[in-house]
Amino acid sequence: MNKTKAAQIQRADPEADIALINQYSRKELTPEEVYCFTVRLCDNEVDRDGERFTEQTLKELAPLFQGKPCLMDHRWSAEKQIARIYRTETVETREKNSLGGPLTALMGSAYMVRNEQNAALIDAIEGGILKEVSVSCAVQSCTCSICGEAQKFDWRSGEFLCKNGHIQGERYDGRLCCGNLEGAKDAYEVSFVAVPAQRRAGVTKGAANLDEAFQILQGADLTGYETQIQALRLKLQTALSDAAERAARERIIAENKQYLQQKG
C-alpha cells in the first residue's frame, strides 16, 4: 500500500543528529558530510480513497520506518536509493482533521551524503522542486469507522462498504464513514514522486512492483485464499475489459443507483 502526500520538507540539524545518523553508516560521518531533512510521511487525515491511518497505526509505523531507505519513484533498485530515514516521531498538530479530531502526523528525518552525485538532488529539495513523498507500508486491515467491521469493494455497486452496509464517503448520524487502516505490519520505503498531495493527488494502491507481485503469486500455494482470489478475479476481469465495456458497466451502475434513489 502506498500513500502519497505533499512532503512539507523542513531542514534538520546534522550537528545535533550525527550520532543517530552514524548508527546506519559504515564509516564515522561528520555533520559537514551529510545533508538532513525532515518530512511529513503520513497523517490521520481522510484521503481521497476514503481511508485514513488511525493514530495508533501511526505510532506503530514510527519505529518500522526507522532505518528504511528513501527512493525515487518507488524504484526498488540500489541506484534509486538516495537517502535513509534515521528518526521518526508522531506529532499532534494544532490543526483538526476532517473528522474533527486532532491532526496527527508521522514525521521522518532522513540524511544523504553530500557529494557531487547528490548535489542536484539537494538543490532540488532546497529549491522546492522535490516536495512530494509516498510511503510504502503494509497494514493488517481496513475497517469501517462507523461500526468497526471490515470494509471491502463491492463490484456490483462500485462502492467500498462493510457487511452492515456502511458506505465509504456517506454520513451516518452526522459521522463520515471512512476506512480505518489498522495494525501496522511493516514499512518498506519512502519515495520522492511527482504526484501532489495525499488526497488522490495522491493516493495510489498496489504493489511497488507489480511484475514482482505477479511472479510471487504464480509461484505461491494459494490454498485457503479463496475469498481473496475471488476478489482479485473480479478486479482482473475489469482490468482486461476494454474501454467500451468499462464505460457500459459504469453507466449501468449509475442507472441502478439513480433508480434505487428514486424508488427509495
Determine the pLDDT at residue 203.
27
CA dist 5 and 102 (Å) reads 18
CA dist 227 and 224 (Å) reads 8
pLDDT digits (tens, 9 = 90+) for 220-256: 777 777 767 776 776 666 566 555 555 655 666 566 6
Question: Which has more confidence, 119 or 200?
Answer: 119
**Residues 221-230 as b or e (16 or more Cβ within 10 Å = b):** eeeeeeeeee
Greatest mean pLDDT among 157-171, 207-221, 224-238, 249-263 lies in: 157-171
Q: What is the mean pLDDT of residues 97-107?
A: 90
Check pLDDT > 50 for residue 167: yes
Determine the pLDDT at residue 161.
93
Query: Lowest mean pLDDT: which of 54-58, 156-160, 184-188?
Result: 156-160
Task: Provide the 8-state DSSP code for 23.
Answer: T
CA dist 169 and 162 (Å) reads 12
pLDDT digits (tens, 9 = 90+) for 44-83: 998 877 889 999 999 999 999 999 999 988 777 777 789 9
pLDDT band at 193 (very low <50, low <70, confident <90, very high): confident
CA dist 196 and 131 (Å) reads 8
pLDDT digits (tens, 9 = 90+) for 8-41: 566 678 889 999 999 999 999 999 999 999 888 8
- With vertex at residue 42, the alpha carbon angle to CA 38 and CA 45, rounded to the nearest 5 degrees, is 135
Determine the pLDDT at residue 1.
66
